Structure 1
Amino acid sequence: MSTNRITVDPVTRIEGHLRIDCDIKDGKVVDAWSSGQMWRGIETILRGRDPRDAWLYTQRICGVCTTVHAIVSLRAVENALDLEIPLNAQLIRNLIMASHGIHDHIVHFYHLSALDWVDVPSALKADPKATEKLAQSISNWPNNNAQHFANVQERVKKFINSGQLGIFSHGYWGHKAMILPPEANLMATAHYLEALDYQRRSNQITAVLGAKTPHVQNLAVGGVANAINPDNQSALNMERLAYVKTLMDELGGFVREVYLPDVTAIAALYADWLPYGQGVTNYLSAPDFPRDGKGTEFGMPGGYIPNADLSQFHEITHFGDPYFEKNVKESIKHSWYQGDWTRTPYEEETEPEYTDFNENGAYSWVKAPTFLDQPAQVGPLANVLAGVAAGHEPTKRYLKMAMDRIGAITGSEVPLSVLHSTLGRHAARCVRTQVLYDMMQENYDALIANIASGDYTSFNKPVFPKGEQMGFGFHEAPRGILSHWIVIEDGKIKNYQAVVPSTWNAGPRNQDDARGPYEASLIDNPVLEEDRPLEVLRTVHSFDPCLACAVHLHDNERQTVVRVNTA
Structure 2
Amino acid sequence: MAKKITIDPITRIEGHLRIDVEVNNGKVSNAWASAQMWRGIEVILRDKNPKDAWAFAQRFCGVCTTVHAIASIRAVENALHIEVPLNAQYIRNLIIAQHSVQDHIVHFYHLSAFDWIDILSALKGDPKKAASIAQSFSDWSGNSVKEFENVKEKLKGFVKSGRLGIFGSGYWGHQAMRLTPELNLILITHYLRALDYQRKAAQAIAILGGKNPHIQNLCVGGVATAINMDNLATINMERLSYLRKLMQESAEFVEKVYYPDLVILANSYKDWFNYGKGVDNYLAVPEFPIDVKNEKFELAGGVFFDGQTKPYKIFNTYKEKYLIDSITESIAHSWYEGKNKLHPWEGETKPHYTGFQENGKYSWSKAPRFDGKAIQVGPVAQLFAIYASDNSEIKRFIDESLQRIGLKIYDLQSTMGRLVARGIRARIMAHISLKFLDMLMENIAKGDIEYANHTEIPDGEFKGVGFHEAPRGTLSHWIVIKDKKIKNYQAVVPSTWNASPRDEKGIMGPYEASLLGNPVIEPEKPLEILRTVHSFDPCIACAVHTIDPKGNEIVKVKVL
TM range (shorter): over 0.9
CA distance in 1, matches of 2:394, 2:242: 28
Assess if the C-alpha contact under 8 Å between 2:285 and 2:318 holds in 1.
Answer: no
What is the identity, as a one-letter code, of the residue corresponding to 1:91?
Answer: Y
1:55 maps to 2:54:
yes
Residue equivalent to 1:71? 70
Aligned to 1:34: 33
Query: Contact conserved, 2:251 with 2:431, CA < 8 A, in 1?
Result: no
Structure 2 match to 1:386: 385
Counterpart residue number, 1:473: 466
Residue 196 (str. 1) matches residue 195 (str. 2): yes
1:232-290 deviation digits (Å, cap 9, x = unpaired): 11211111111101111111210101111111110110112220000011000111011
1:144 CA drift (Å): 1.5
Letter in 1 for 2:119: V
1:500 and 2:493 aligned:
yes
Q: Distance in 1 between matches of 2:296 and 2:421?
A: 23
Structure 1 position 553 matched with structure 2 position 545: yes
Matched, 1:117 2:113: no
- Farther-moved stretch of structure 1 (432-441 vs 12-21): 12-21
Taking a change above 3 Å as real, the CA distance of residues 313 and 134 of structure 1, as seen in their structure-2 partners, is: farther
Aligned to 1:101: 100
Task: Please give the alpha-carbon distance, in whole angstroms, between the structure 1 residues aligned to 2:269 and 2:311.
Answer: 31
2:319 corresponding residue in structure 1:
320
Name the SS for the 2:467 alignment partner.
Answer: strand
- Aligned position for 2:507: 514
Query: Alpha-carbon deviation of 1:438?
Result: 1.3
1:61 positional shift: 1.2
User: How far does residue 416 in structure 1 lie from its aligned partner after superposition?
Assistant: 2.7
How many residues of Structure 1 are paired with residues of Structure 2 in the alignment?
554
Q: Deviations over 1:98-127 (max 9, x none)?
A: 111100000000001000000012111011
SS class of match (1:312): coil
Letter in 2 for 1:281: D
Q: Match for residue 265 of structure 2? A: 266
Greater alpha carbon shift after TM alignment, 218-227 vs 551-560: 551-560
Superposed CA offset, 1:21-80 (max 9, x none): 000000000010000001131000000010000000000111101111001100000000
Distance, in Å, in 2 between the alignment partners of 1:134 and 1:234 is: 47
The answer for the alignment partner of 1:161 in structure 2 is 160
Aligned partners of 1:494, 1:230: CA distance in 2, in Å?
A: 41
Identify the range of structure 1 (353-362 vs 316-325) with the bigger mean alpha-carbon deviation: 316-325
* Amino acid in structure 2 at the alignment position of 1:36: A
Query: Hey, what's the Cα distance between the residues in 1 that align with 2:58 and 2:15?
Result: 15
1:147 matched to 2:111: no
Determine the structure 1 residue equivalent to 2:419.
426
Instruction: Report the counterpart of residue 440 of structure 2 in structure 1.
Output: 447
User: Distance in 1 between the 2:402 and 2:182 partners?
Assistant: 23
In the alignment, structure 1 residue 527 sits paired with structure 2 residue 520: yes
Query: Hey, what does 2:174 align to over in structure 1?
Result: 175
Greater shift, 144-153 or 483-492, is seen at 144-153
* 3-state DSSP of counterpart to 1:140: coil
Unaligned runs of 5+ in 1: 408-413, 563-567
CA distance in 2, matches of 1:41, 1:148: 46
Moved more, 152-161 or 490-499: 152-161
Q: Distance in 2 between matches of 1:417 and 1:344?
A: 31
Amino acid across the alignment from 1:177:
A
Contact 1:74 1:220 in 2 (8 A): yes
**Deviation of 1:340 (Å):** 4.9
Calculate percent identity across the aligned residue pairs: 55
Query: What's the secondary structure of 2:481's corresponding residue?
Result: strand
Instruction: Provide, for residues 478-511 of structure 1, a one-character-per-residue CA deviation record: whole Å limited to 9, x for no partner.
Output: 1001000000001100000000000000010012
Q: Which of 466, 472, 477 is the matching residue for 1:484?
A: 477
Secondary structure of 1:346's match? helix
Q: Give 1:557 shift.
A: 4.8
| 8 Å contact kept, 2:311–2:385 | no
Find out whether 1:456 has 2:454 as its counterpart. no
**1:357-376, CA deviations, whole angstroms, 9 ceiling, x for partnerless residues?**
11111000000000010010
With 457-466 and 85-94 compared, the bigger mean Cα shift is at: 457-466
Match of 2:17 in 1: 18
Change (3 A) 1:163 1:106: same
- Identify the range of structure 1 (291-300 vs 181-190) with the bigger mean alpha-carbon deviation: 291-300
Q: Which residue of 1 aligns with 2:364?
A: 365
| CA distance, structure 2, for counterparts of residue 110 and residue 479 of structure 1 | 16
Aligned to 1:341: 340
**Segment drifting more, 392-401 vs 2-11:** 392-401
Whole-angstrom distance in 2 between the partners of 1:455 and 1:120: 53
The letter for the 1-side match of 2:156 is K
Task: Confirm or deny: 8 A CA contact 2:309 2:410 kept in the other structure.
Answer: no
Within 5 Å, which residues of 2 pair with 1:204-223? Answer: 204-223=203-222
Deviations 1:415-472 (A, max 9, x none): 3322110000000001111111111111100100111111111111123222210000
Paired letter, 1:50: N
Contact 1:395 1:432 (8 Å CA) reproduced: no
CA distance in 2 between partners of 1:434 and 1:146 (Å): 27
Give 1:565's aligned residue: none
Could you tell me whether the CA contact under 8 Å between 1:81 and 1:463 is conserved in 2?
no
- Contact 2:11 / 2:539 at 8 angstroms: preserved in 1? no
Matched AA of 2:457: F
The answer on whether the counterparts of 2:284 and 2:301 sit within 8 Å (CA) in structure 1 is yes
Aligned residue runs from structure 1 range 129-140, under 5 A? 129-140=128-139
State the match for 2:240 in structure 1: 241
SS in 1 for 2:84: coil
Using the alignment, how far apart are the partners of 1:232 and 1:40 within structure 2?
A: 41
Over 3 Å counting, the alpha-carbon distance change for 1:312 and 1:94 in structure 2 is closer
Q: Is this contact kept in 1: 2:226–2:451, CA < 8 A?
A: yes
Q: What secondary structure, in the 3-state scheme, does the structure 2 residue paired with 1:526 have?
A: coil
Question: Which amino acid is 1:553 matched to?
Answer: H
| Shift in alpha-carbon separation, 1:333–1:152, aligned structure 2, 3 A | same
Q: d(CA) in 2 for partners of 1:57 and 1:558?
A: 22
Question: What CA distance in whole angstroms lies between the structure 2 residues aligned with 1:525 and 1:395?
Answer: 33
What is the rounded CA distance, in whole Å, between the counterparts of 2:394 and 2:495 in structure 1? Answer: 23
Query: How far apart are 1:12 and its partner, in Å?
Result: 3.1
Matched-pair contact (CA < 8 Å) for 1:313–1:386: no
1:282 touches 1:377 (CA, 8 Å); kept in 2? yes
What value does the CA root-mean-square deviation take over the aligned residues? 1.5
User: Quick one: structure 1 residues 87 and 554, their matched pair in 2 at CA, closer, same or farther if it must change by over 3 Å?
Assistant: farther
Separation of aligned partners in 1, 2:27 and 2:557: 42
Provide the C-alpha distance between the structure 2 equivalents of 1:320 and 1:415, rounded to a whole number of angstroms. 32
Select between 129-138 and 476-485 the one with higher mean Cα deviation. 129-138
SS at match of 2:123: helix
Cα pair 2:302 2:311 within 8 Å, conserved: no
Q: Tell me if the contact between 2:4 and 2:22 (Cα under 8 Å) persists in the aligned partners.
A: yes
Separation (CA, whole Å) in 2 of partners of 1:242 and 1:312: 40
Show structure 2 runs of 5+ residues with no match.
Answer: none
